[in-house]
Amino acid sequence: MTADELDLNELHVDDELPLDEDVPQLVETSTKVPMTIVTGYLGSGKSTLLDYILKEQHGRRIAVIMNEFGDTSDIESKAISVQSDEALVEEWLELNNGCLCCSVRDTGLTAILNLMEKKGRFDQIVLETTGLADPAPIIQAFWNEPALNLDVSLDAVVSVVDAAGIEKQIQDPRPDGSYNEAQRQVATADVILLNKADLVTPADLERVEALLRTINSTALIHRTTRSAIDLSLLLDLNIYAAPSAPFRPETLAPFSQPDATDSCDGCATGKPHEHAPAAASSSSPHANDISSLTIPLPPSLPSVTGPTSALYALLSSLLWEGTLPGAPSSSSTPDAFDLLRTKGFVRTDDGREWVLQGVRDIFDFAQVPAEATAAARAGESESAGEGEGEKTVQPKVVLIGRGLADKEGVRARFVRALEEGVARERASLREQDEEESSGGEEDDEDEEMGE
């Protein structure tokens, strides 16, 4: 059963909870609390990770919402573990009808906020999502819903992957042909913990990591055993670039790397070349055709939002209608784009830089703060002086999902449509400028005549 098929449930915090006056208020009330969403297949090591986070001496107040029940159908209450400097406190959220996904999405945040009011604000919320067939709705809810976003901002989506089991999990077909759980979890992740590294050989780890990169070329992948990791690699990443939190330039690292999904040099150039036929899906690492496609963007674009933006129009067509301008290379096969995740890095003519984030059909551009841009440029020129000038973040869009198997064809259509759209956009901007300046001249003339 998917989350959407379950009834909406009421989630509330017991009003009788004692007020803990002693808990220090470590976060300014004006700061949004970052929320990390943890996904991962059954048994991959999520609870081990949450346990590790709670027990680490990090000096932060972290509320961990744990789903310890697996099947959510008959849950009546849910533990929230709150780590303060002094102690681990457990609270209970009552779920009248069981589904954490629907509850959290619809009323759960209110409950969390109530808890924050009672217990003092947290530095971080970590939400585990076991039992969720599709993490996308909850990611969208915490990222995009303004009503939910007043106090909490989506920090990052972390997926814990079992290094010994993920290959099989990813290949496991769904009877209805839809994405399976493991595919969705890997595709929507910003950070992947390639866990249980102790159970496989170094060669296995290389192969599994390569597979994960074919699905999600932009995730930051860390190899772990028992989910142990430096928490600064996991928390406060601000991947979704909330203006209320500092921007972490290192989260752009995947955009400066070549596309791991392109084993083919020709694809990387975007120029026409021959391909060997794709392997059958059951044995292919592109299981069920889910893959990442990186599309290089021009060094600078006129705009990223607004009715005239060529890039915005193209992404809308892709994500909302599942199509791109121009015919597919095989005319008998219509476009079948089904994208789980979109990411990107863009520069605009005015010198600003933007991070594109998309989850399913929702996408948004967040401006990289000018200070971060300046710092990155300073770093670039320094490393260029040391002969490592390739670290510059290249503007690009990364698409993750289905319908991308013909990488060369899709990339070529996207690039062509964008070029044409940008040409139109620039022409219309020029016209606008000319109209404004001739309007200005006419006004000047009118004024002169009036005088």
Ligand X SMILES: Nc1nc2c(ncn2[C@@H]2O[C@H](COP(=O)(O)OP(=O)(O)OP(=O)(O)O)[C@@H](O)[C@H]2O)c(=O)[nH]1
Provide the binding-site residues for ligand X, judged by CB under 6 A. Answer: 40, 42-48, 70, 130, 195-196, 198-199, 225-227
Residue 45 or 421: which CB sits closer to ligand X? 45
| Cα–Cα distance measured from residue 235 to residue 222, given in angstroms and rounded to the nearest whole number | 13
Residue 54 or 429: which CB sits closer to ligand X? 54
Residues 6+ apart with CB under 8 A from 313: 421
Q: Tell me if 190 sits within 8 A of 158, measured CB to CB.
A: yes
Which tokens hold the place of 374? 């300046």
DSSP 49: H
Residue 219 or 267: which CB sits closer to ligand X? 219
Residue 35 or 160: which CB sits closer to ligand X? 160
Residues 6+ apart with CB under 8 A from 431: none
Residue 36 or 357: which CB sits closer to ligand X? 36
Q: Tell me if 27 sits within 8 A of 126, measured CB to CB.
A: no
In the bound complex, what is the minimum distance in angstroms from residue 52's beta carbon to ligand X?
A: 9
In the bound complex, what is the minimum distance in angstroms from residue 205's beta carbon to ligand X?
A: 12
First vs last C-alpha separation in the chain: 77
Amino acid present at 78:
K
Residue 81 or 348: which CB sits closer to ligand X? 81
* Cβ neighbours around 445 below 10 Å, total: 10
In the bound complex, what is the minimum distance in angstroms from residue 271's beta carbon to ligand X?
A: 43
Closest among 337, 342, 317, 321 to 417, alpha carbons compared:
317
Residues 6+ apart with CB under 8 A from 436: none
In the bound complex, what is the minimum distance in angstroms from residue 206's beta carbon to ligand X?
A: 17
In the bound complex, what is the minimum distance in angstroms from residue 71's beta carbon to ligand X?
A: 10
In the bound complex, what is the minimum distance in angstroms from residue 253's beta carbon to ligand X?
A: 24
Residue 159 or 373: which CB sits closer to ligand X? 159
| Cα–Cα distance measured from residue 84 to residue 61, given in angstroms and rounded to the nearest whole number | 5
Distance of CA 147 to the CA centre of its chain: 20
In the bound complex, what is the minimum distance in angstroms from residue 46's beta carbon to ligand X?
A: 4
| Interstrand relation of 77-83 and 62-65 (parallel, antiparallel or unpaired) | antiparallel
In the bound complex, what is the minimum distance in angstroms from residue 320's beta carbon to ligand X?
A: 33
Residue 189 or 311: which CB sits closer to ligand X? 189
In the bound complex, what is the minimum distance in angstroms from residue 69's beta carbon to ligand X?
A: 9
- Region of 289 please: left (phi>0), alpha (psi -120 to 50) or beta: left
In the bound complex, what is the minimum distance in angstroms from residue 223's beta carbon to ligand X?
A: 10
Residue 40 or 285: which CB sits closer to ligand X? 40
Q: Tell me if 47 sits within 8 A of 35, measured CB to CB.
A: no
Q: Tell me if 398 sits within 8 A of 345, measured CB to CB.
A: no
Determine the 3-state secondary structure of 220 from DSSP: strand
DSSP strand E in 325-427: where?
A: 338-347, 353-359, 362-367, 396-402
Name the residue with tokens 């909850």.
Answer: 138
Residue 68 or 117: which CB sits closer to ligand X? 68
